[in-house]
Structure 1
Amino acid sequence: MNLQSPRELYHQLAFISYYFHWDLETVMALPHLERKKFCEEISRINRQANAEEKNLFDV
């Protein structure tokens, strides 16, 4: 069993709570691997969305 650092836990909690607007209790109730997967998916969605944004200065 791998224990995550408190810093990593707080990062995951803040990240998921920010993007999903979930309360702390809901996010804390998620198993570690599920929280990690949510963070990975949110990051993937953000990277994809940012890559698709058009630059206003492109002609």
Structure 2
Amino acid sequence: MTYATDRIQEEIAYIAYHFHWSLETILDLEHRDRRGYTEQIAALVNRGAGEG
């Protein structure tokens, strides 16, 4: 199974923006872990937006 390059770039940018991790650190993650972090970030962002 292949994963679209633009989707990977979106995930990398999202994690880097919110966690300030290096590109190398993010690329070292397994796909499942990287996807899990993006989901967790989204949940935190959505929760924070609802608290305002």
Indicate whether the TM-score tops 0.5.
yes
- The Cα RMSD (Å) is 0.6
Aligned length: 52
Which residue matches 1:18?
17
Alignment of 1:1-59 (within 5 A): 2-53=1-52
Shift of 1:3: 1.8
Structure ranking higher in helix proportion: 2
SS state of the match for residue 35, structure 1? helix
SS state of the match for residue 12, structure 2? helix
Which stretches of structure 1, 4 residues or longer, exceed 3 Å deviation after superposition? none
**Greater RCO (Cα-Cα under 8 Å, separation 6 or more):** 2
Counterpart CA distance in 1 for 2:21 and 2:2 is 23
Q: Which runs of 5+ in 1 are unaligned?
A: 54-59
Q: Which runs of 5+ in 2 are unaligned?
A: none
Q: Which has the larger radius of gyration?
A: 1
TM-score by length of structure 2 reads 0.95
SS state of the match for residue 43, structure 1? helix
SS state of the match for residue 6, structure 2? helix
Counterpart CA distance in 2 for 1:11 and 1:46 is 16
